[in-house]
Amino acid sequence: MWFGAALFFGAVVAPAAFGVLRSHTLPNASEIAGAIVTRSLSVVNVAGFLIALLLLLTLFVVRRGSVGRTALIVEGICLVLIVLATSVGHWVIAARMRAIRAALVVPIDQVAMDDARRIAFNQLHGYSVNALGLAMIAALVAMALMARGLRQ
């Protein structure tokens, strides 16, 4: 379910929020869309963190005899990657982006592209996208291994 929510967020919610609000040519459309996306992404990140943590904690309690040791280790690594990527995405990257926004007097779109704060914000945005992407790839691998274990 988390993977579906993350995929829906990245492929539909974020682009739709920016697209719809920008189409109304509001001067602060990106700021509003960013607030919507930030709030939605925090739910996705915290949910991913909690779900992956729970799965990680139960991974070694619920030993599946038919699953090989290598598959179990890879699944564990994938779950750790999800925990790390979603926690860093939420409690580090997004927090820094919120701090930059809060320190600005004007919406981020009105800050010059060569301003150090805008450059830092854009870099953090890239890191945020990469963190969620890494978590989603790790989730795909973990889901494939879980499904394989269920079949055996």
Give dist(CA 117, CA 26) in Å, integer: 22
Between CA 108 and CA 130 the distance in angstroms is 21
Total domains, the chain: 1
User: Could you report the per-residue pLDDT of 29-78, keeping only the tens digit for each?
Assistant: 999 999 999 999 999 999 999 999 999 999 877 765 656 889 999 999 99
pTM of the model: 0.92
Name the 3-class secondary structure at 107.
Answer: coil
Which positions ≥6 away from 125 have C-beta within 8 Å? 97
Residue 11 pLDDT greater than 70, yes or no? yes
Q: Taking Cα atoms as reference points, which of 121, 122, 49 lies closest to residue 90?
A: 49
Among candidates 24, 21, 23, 26, which has minimal Cα distance to 36? 21
Which residue in the block uniquely carries the two structure tokens 């930059």? 100
Domain residues for 18?
2-151
At 65 the pLDDT is 60
- Which residues have C-beta within 8 Å of that of residue 95, sequence separation ≥ 6? none
